[in-house]
Amino acid sequence: MAEFSDIIGQEQIKEHMQNALKTGKISHAYIISGENGSGKEFIAKIFAKTIQCEEKEDRNGFIEACNKCHSCIQAESDNHPDIITITHEKPASIGVNDIRDKLRDDVVIKPYASEHKIYIIPEGEKMTPAAQNALLKTLEEPPSYIVIIILTNNINAFLPTITSRCIHLSIKPVQDDLIRQYLMEECHVVDYKAALCASFAKGNVGKALQLASNEKFEALKNATIELISKLKGLEIHDMMDRVHEILSPDEDDEKNSKNGIDISQLEDFLDVLLFLFRDILVYKATNEEEHLIFSDKLSYIKDVTQNCTYDAINRIIGNMEIAKNRISSNVNIDLALELMLIGIKETLWQE
């Protein structure tokens, strides 16, 4: 059962919530912001469960829920009558009716069994201006027992009148080391894989967890490095055929693809290349394996280091950054990738 001691990083948020629990001064409205996968809902649910717990305990330096009382059991099974998650009818937006029916008209009903009644609004950025205005009415005169927790990946999506009435808690990227340790200790991920997933996740715990359990990512990584190691013998169209094979979207995932390329896979593909050549650079400078992200590809990394100058490796990394920029400024993806791969090929085998 998740509790405060399970939240990795986020010291500020933990401190704020713990203070509120200790003093009993729970605010009427919070906004928790952070990118998708960063743990907004996880943290909100722990906070809500602990607020409602009938037998809070002081454990490991935190005020924690007891995880045993009636309230905790209801909260754990998402069945607590006084912890309400606001769902919405349309996937793309939270409309005025959603807020009016499920929140504004509901707040007048007192809590069933607890001192507080907690509303969690996931994907708060999807609230239309009309929905936000409906919410504002409640925020202006909140009944004493209510706590509203808005979750969002974009704090700028709210009217200033909303943000000024909420306490804003922002989720920060978590250090790679903490994520790596967590994956190894709590999820039993092997060390090199944990390091790899932590590097790729860029501080996002949810993304790291997803990568660690995702076989597709492992396959993408291996296919990408294989492509680069065989670049020498490939003509341009062969290269691009392989790229399209590696990055082909799932049949049921059309919305995430562009020109037959899976966009989120493309991001990982470019990161694999960038991290690979950073590894090559690090190995050339130190001759040590322990700092490598792709320590499972050591023989290839050694091979390139022996045949490449610092200058060449730096040029390749520069090339990749240009490709990333081109793609983000909407240059044709195939063209950007083609230029990048030709650049890598020429640089790797010119000397």
Cβ distance to Zn ion smaller for residue 62 or 182 = 62
Nearer to Zn ion, 43 or 72 (CB): 72
The least CB distance from residue 58 to Zn ion, in Å, is: 13
- Residue 1 touching Zn ion (CB under 5 A): no
**Shortest distance, position 76 Cβ to Zn ion, whole Å:** 10
Q: Which of residues 23-62 bind Zn ion (CB under 5 A)?
A: 53
Tell me: does residue 72 bind Zn ion (CB under 5 A): yes
Least distance to Zn ion from the beta carbon of 78, Å?
15
Instruction: Quote the CA–CA distance of 231 and 133 in Å, as a whole number.
Output: 57
Structure tokens at 4: 């405060």
> CA–CA distance from 282 to each of 276, 279, 291, 315 (Å)?
10, 5, 8, 15
Q: Which is nearer to Zn ion, 65 or 313 (CB)?
A: 65
Binding-site member from 8, 26, 66, 240 for Zn ion (CB under 5 A) = 66
Q: What is the C-alpha to C-alpha distance for residues 272 and 200, in angstroms, rounded to an integer?
A: 8
Report if residue 234 touches Zn ion, rule: CB under 5 A.
no
Spell out the residues 6+ positions from residue 118 whose beta carbon is closer than 8 angstroms to its own: 48, 51, 52, 82, 83, 84, 146, 147, 148, 149
Is 69 a binding residue for Zn ion by CB under 5 A? The answer is yes
Nearer Cβ to Zn ion (56/180): 56
Q: What tokens appear for 6 in the block?
A: 């399970």
49 versus 102: smaller Cβ distance to Zn ion? 49
Task: Evaluate whether 152 touches 124 at the Cβ level (below 8 Å).
Answer: yes
21 binds Zn ion (CB under 5 A): no
Q: Closer to Zn ion at the Cβ: 76 or 289?
A: 76
Considering the complex, what minimum distance in angstroms separates the CB of residue 51 from Zn ion? Answer: 10
Which residues contact Zn ion by CB under 5 A?
A: 53, 65-66, 69, 72
